[in-house]
Chain A
Amino acid sequence: MIMVQDGWQVYYKLILMERVTFLVMPNRLSRLTTVGHHPASGSVKNGINPAFLLEKTVRAAMSDYLLLLLGTALVNNVVLVKFLGLCPFMGVSNKLDSALGMGLATTFVLTLAAVASWLLEHLLLAPLHIEFLRILAFILVIAAVVQFTELVMRKTSPVLYQILGVFLPLITTNCAVLGVALLNVQQQHSFIQSMLFGFGSAAGFTLVMVIFAGLRERLTLMAVPRLFAGSPIAFITAGILSLAFMGFAGLYK
């Protein structure tokens, strides 16, 4: 009796683990499912320790995740390497505070949008075979998330809301957001990978926004020739920054 109970518990654990693993890493699924785990087969005694397996999977996944996160944030930086999201990058980087606010708002939107679009893709679009509506559906979700962010920000930080102005609703059309959602599908990321990819991209976006805002704040104090003052020098600086980020090339993928 006790044996049987243990066996069932192990079975459930494995089922649970399978789900988790699917969420975590679809390509590792096959390795696990090949292990026989019928309660009656007594596979637990045959040396297959679920805890060990789980730990190993998670550990491998973790280092993958860390690399994914860093790689997305720095090496394949969404702004300076992929050249996505340039509109807010140039538009809201005048002041450090607003750049940080924009970065955080975009982080929120991007991560949420990446997650929501993954769910949408795998729970709605793929089962119904209507992937051709992907862009439409994604934009719908992104717009809703942005609207929500806007409502929250208006309530919590009216000054930031005022400062960000039109750039806040424009997150909807920030190509980084849609780009990341689409890249997630294209690169067949798992749920967690999608989330991390979204978050990493957003972190990279925020990092670059903040760095660039710092540079531009200093530029306002410099005696830039009139010919280059304002946007021209900002573009030149962005170019040099992109040049510097090329130093990360080859670190990941």
Chain B
Amino acid sequence: MIVLSAIVSLTLLGLVLGLLLGIAAKYLKVESSPVIDELEALLPGSQCGQCGFPGCRPAAEALAAGEAPATLCPPGGSALAEQIATLLGISLDLSDMAEPEALVARVDEDNCTGCTRCFKVCPTDAIVGAPKQIHAVVADACIACQKCIAVCPTECLQMHPVEVTLRNWRWTKPPRMRSSEAVC
């Protein structure tokens, strides 16, 4: 008798709770994770593929699923990594993240043949020019994806560090306190 009542009562309990949860799940349904959208908005969106994912959306999905580290995006640098970490609430180890050196592509005008291959691949139309004419890079639009370097037949396109001027000069971070230096 006890066994029967135990079986029946627990079964009923389970059924009732399952039913309630089923109803709740129906009412509290969530379409898609807004976190992925937020992550995608943070990522550069240049679909450069340097993270190893085919584009920024898949990278965002991997981030949301916890399959990729917050430091995955080299163009975004530590600033982006920090934003991602804040959004996902994870702690971040920036020590293994090399700060990307700001680069910009430049055309060596002596070697350019005007083949137009580079400006066909440029995702941001940062290379201007016409067939059989020397091309030039609009520095402000260049995102340093280096796609043009790969296709240039004469190797006249090269990456150069962005020149430091009064306009983009910044204070560097104070050096880490090295008290071991203080031995007198």
Contacts of A136 in B (CB 8 A): 10
Q: Is the CB of B35 within 8 A of A137?
A: no
Q: Is the CB of A95 within 8 A of B24?
A: no
Q: Is the CB of A140 within 8 A of B17?
A: yes
Contacts of A163 in B (CB 8 A): 88-89
Q: Is the CB of B35 within 8 A of A130?
A: no
Which listed residue, A95, A120, A128, A152, touches B5 by the CB 8 Å rule?
A128
Q: Is A19 interfacial (CB-CB < 8 Å)?
A: no
Which listed residue, B14, B25, B89, touches A151 by the CB 8 Å rule?
B25
What's the nearest-Cβ distance from chain B to residue A175, in Å?
A: 21
Query: Which residue of B is nearest A125, CB measured?
Result: B9
B window 9-65: CB within 8 A of A: 9-10, 13-14, 17-18, 20-21, 24-25, 28-30, 33-35, 64
Measured in the bound complex, the distance between the Cα atoms of B11 and A16 in whole Å is 34
A window 203-244: CB within 8 A of B: 220
Measured in the bound complex, the distance between the Cα atoms of B24 and A183 in whole Å is 29
Which listed residue, B13, B20, B28, touches A137 by the CB 8 Å rule?
B13
User: Interface on chain B toward A: helix, strand, loop, or mixed SS?
Assistant: helix
Contacts of B5 in A (CB 8 A): 128, 130
Which listed residue, A130, A151, A154, A159, touches B6 by the CB 8 Å rule?
A130
Q: Is B2 interfacial (CB-CB < 8 Å)?
A: yes
What's the nearest-Cβ distance from chain A to residue B117, in Å?
A: 43
A window 161-187: CB within 8 A of B: 162-163, 165
Q: Is the CB of A124 within 8 A of B13?
A: yes
Q: Is the CB of B88 within 8 A of A128?
A: no
- Chain A interface residue number, banded: 20 to 34
Measured in the bound complex, the distance between the Cα atoms of B5 and A148 in whole Å is 27
Given that A128-B5, A140-B10, A140-B14 are known contacts, is A158 also in contact with B24, CB under 8 Å in the complex?
no
Which listed residue, A129, A133, A152, touches B28 by the CB 8 Å rule?
A152
Measured in the bound complex, the distance between the Cα atoms of B4 and A228 in whole Å is 56
Q: Is B180 interfacial (CB-CB < 8 Å)?
A: no
Measured in the bound complex, the distance between the Cα atoms of B33 and A136 in whole Å is 34
Query: Which residue of A is nearest B5, CB measured?
Result: A128
Measured in the bound complex, the distance between the Cα atoms of B5 and A152 in whole Å is 33
Which listed residue, A140, A151, A159, touches B24 by the CB 8 Å rule?
A151
Q: Is A23 interfacial (CB-CB < 8 Å)?
A: no
Measured in the bound complex, the distance between the Cα atoms of B25 and A129 in whole Å is 33
Q: Is the CB of A133 within 8 A of B91?
A: no
Q: Is A144 interfacial (CB-CB < 8 Å)?
A: yes
Q: Is the CB of B30 within 8 A of A154?
A: yes
Measured in the bound complex, the distance between the Cα atoms of B64 and A130 in whole Å is 45
Q: Is B153 interfacial (CB-CB < 8 Å)?
A: no
Which listed residue, B2, B10, B34, touches A129 by the CB 8 Å rule?
B2
Q: Is A147 interfacial (CB-CB < 8 Å)?
A: yes
What's the nearest-Cβ distance from chain B to residue A130, in Å?
A: 5
Measured in the bound complex, the distance between the Cα atoms of B10 and A220 in whole Å is 47
What's the nearest-Cβ distance from chain B to residue A109, in Å?
A: 14
What's the nearest-Cβ distance from chain B to residue A93, in Å?
A: 12
Contacts of A94 in B (CB 8 A): 89, 91
Measured in the bound complex, the distance between the Cα atoms of B9 and A120 in whole Å is 11
* Contacts A/B (CB < 8 Å), 24 sampled: A97-B89, A128-B2, A128-B5, A129-B2, A130-B2, A133-B6, A140-B10, A140-B13, A144-B17, A144-B18, A144-B20, A144-B21, A148-B21, A148-B24, A151-B24, A152-B24, A154-B28, A154-B30, A155-B29, A158-B30, A159-B87, A162-B64, A162-B89, A163-B88
Binding site for A on B (CB under 8 A): 2, 5-6, 9-10, 13-14, 17-18, 20-21, 24-25, 28-30, 33-35, 64, 66, 87-89, 91
Binding site for B on A (CB under 8 A): 94-95, 97-98, 120, 124, 128-130, 133, 136-137, 140-141, 144, 147-148, 151-152, 154-155, 158-159, 162-163, 165, 220
